[in-house]
Amino acid sequence: MEEFLTASFWVAVAQIIMIDILLGGDNAVVIALACRQLPEHQRRQGILWGTAGAIILRVILIFFALTLLAIPFLKFVGAILLLWIGVKLLTPDADDDHSNIQGSDKLWGAVKTVIIADLVMSVDNVIAIAGAAQGSGNPDHQMPLVIFGLLVSIPIIVWGSQLVLKLMDRFPMIITAGGMLLGWIAGTMMQTDPGLVDYIPQDKVWGYAMGLAGALLVLALGKIIMARRPTQEAV
């Protein structure tokens, strides 16, 4: 029980919740689009059942991700993917929409659409959450940590998504901090890759240094891409 009161545990919980909020905005949009053709009295059921199914599926995927990350050099690959996701978060495409999400006028059809769409969109969440969970300090608490973080974030995503999106629009630093958080997790993932532990010191100083390097790399790449984008559009 004392393990659950450590600072590292609650830092990991906070990271998982922030990741879910930042990367879960699309999920809220998908839920709304998938359920938009349902009768009014069934929309709430569609949202709840679709979200529950998507969360259960994500927990299963994260379980496999946590297992797979024990394979040498797979953490390194996951870290590269996280860096890319972090940069993408800071440089959104203007034409990124969800016009291909088809609504259904049947409850279970809408629920199926939510679950399938969430599965397709869950790669970034799964890798990021698995990386954050591994920073909790105790391998035995990784899955409980993941489940707890997801449960806490569900009401935020489903009912508070509009508020969160407005806050992001008003305070862009939230998105910047989220992208840098993913970079931080990527850096710490690289340090603990089973294939690299013999070559990279495993002390906290190196962990902080690699995390900071990952965060700054995401920030720098994001700024470079955004600075070049108007030039490319003008050509």
88-139 pLDDT, tens digit per residue, is 878 876 555 544 555 565 777 777 776 776 666 666 677 778 888 876 666 6
Helix orientation angle between 142-170 and 40-68, rounded to the nearest 10 degrees? 120
What tokens appear for 44 in the block?
Answer: 């709430």
Lookup: tokens for 23 = 């990367």
pTM: 0.69
CA 86 and chain centroid, separation: 10
* CA R_g for the chain: 19
Q: Which residue do the tokens 């300090």 mark?
A: 137
pLDDT in tens, 41-59: 777 777 777 777 777 877 8
Looking at residue 211, its pLDDT comes to 92
Q: pLDDT tens digits for 55-77?
A: 787 788 878 877 877 888 888 88
What pLDDT shows up at residue 210? 95
Looking at 24-141, list the stretches that DSSP marks H as alpha helix, in order from N- to C-terminal side.
25-35, 40-68, 74-90, 107-121, 123-133
Write out pLDDT tens, residues 179-220: 898 899 889 889 888 888 889 998 889 999 999 999 999 999
